[in-house]
Amino acid sequence: MILVLGSLLGAGLVLMSAPLLWPTTRSDTRSGRMLAAWRARLAQAGFASLPLSVFATLSGLLAVAAAALAEALLGVRALTAVAGLVWLVLPTLIVLWRARSRRRLNRAVWPDVVDHLVSAVRSGLALPDAVSSLAQAGPVVTRTAFAEFEREYRATGNFGYSVDRLKASLADPFADRLLETLRMAREVGGSDLTVVLRSLSSWLRQDAAVRAEVEAKQSWVVNAARLGVAAPWIVLVLISSRPEAAQAFNTEAGTVVILGGLTVSVIAYRVMLALGRLPEERRWFQ
């Protein structure tokens, strides 16, 4: 009896100390969620095969090279730091811009994807075969992802697993909604699948039309704001090419002016983006 009680006490102590001895897996921590979000961003931007470590290393090398070039050409310490910071952040901005552009492009093609699926289902194809047919009949920008789904399904025969891989490859909230609808239809059945898909296609077309109209009206304001942010820095670089100006900016007052201008530029640009940004669909079914 004493042995049993001692074993239970030891097991309880191990369970109580388990969170400290064996922390939660990375995917459950905040850093893990951030890494997963960045992998999704890279996938949305078309860089799904690029590891995060390689991306971070390339960003650091670009920052060092830009800082070294700025120091060699201008000799202004504050501008050297600004150049390194800008080129450190620039790859991230490019990834975010490409991800938004691809989401905007995919938003326009998802209604066609749904229409192809409806035609395939109504022709008598099973759901896995209907999804696989999009590798040949679907829009060009999505064919690669659906071709990977076709290979995965033929290799495993597991529809749920193949759908999860396809969701990770597409990394799109509209794709998540569509694929979860297909998963539910596959698991529980139902005769209203085509009706649901047609309603989804109609809603996607209406949403894309409204967004396109609003973005077209906002584009000239956004471009003017970007030019307004970039113009002072272009002038500053041209002025700093003169030795007397570089010497002036190397003082404490010059450093404060440059760093203050950088702070104001970043805040103004972020505020402009926040005011003009349309709400994006979130991925609820990751």
Contacts of 229 (CB under 8 A, 6+ apart): 265, 268, 269
Q: With contact defined as beta carbons under 8 Å apart, do 113 and 138 qualify?
A: yes
**95 falls within a domain:** yes
In the prediction, which pLDDT does 160 show?
A: 85
Element (H, E) at 229: helix 193-240
**70 falls within a domain:** yes
Domain stops at, among 154, 173, 207: 207
pLDDT digits (tens, 9 = 90+) for 208-242: 777 777 777 777 777 777 788 888 888 888 888 88
**10 falls within a domain:** no
State how far Cα 126 lies from the chain centre.
32
**83 falls within a domain:** yes
**23 falls within a domain:** no
Task: Provide the whole-model pTM.
Answer: 0.61
The SS3 assignment for 10 reads helix
**114 falls within a domain:** yes
Q: What residue type is assigned to position 240 of the chain? A: S
Domain stops at, among 151, 178, 207: 207
Domain count along the chain? 2
The SS3 assignment for 48 reads coil
Of 33-42, 158-167, 192-201, the range with the lowest mean pLDDT is 33-42
Same domain, yes or no, for 229 and 268?
yes
Same domain, yes or no, for 52 and 136?
no
Same domain, yes or no, for 56 and 188?
no
Same domain, yes or no, for 88 and 217?
yes
In the prediction, which pLDDT does 107 show?
A: 75
Tokens 């290979």 belong to 151
Domain stops at, among 163, 178, 207: 207
pLDDT digits (tens, 9 = 90+) for 101-144: 777 777 778 888 888 888 888 888 888 888 888 888 878 888 88
Same domain, yes or no, for 122 and 168?
yes
Same domain, yes or no, for 239 and 179?
no
**183 falls within a domain:** yes
Rounded Cα gap, residues 213 and 285, in angstroms? 28
- Assigned token pair, 264: 């104001």
Same domain, yes or no, for 266 and 175?
no
In this prediction, residues 165-170 reach a mean pLDDT of 83
Same domain, yes or no, for 40 and 167?
no
Same domain, yes or no, for 58 and 88?
yes
Same domain, yes or no, for 46 and 59?
yes
Eight-state DSSP code of residue 242: S
In the prediction, which pLDDT does 85 show?
A: 87
**Structural domain that includes position 91:** 30-104+210-276
Same domain, yes or no, for 114 and 200?
yes
**260 falls within a domain:** yes
Same domain, yes or no, for 216 and 93?
yes
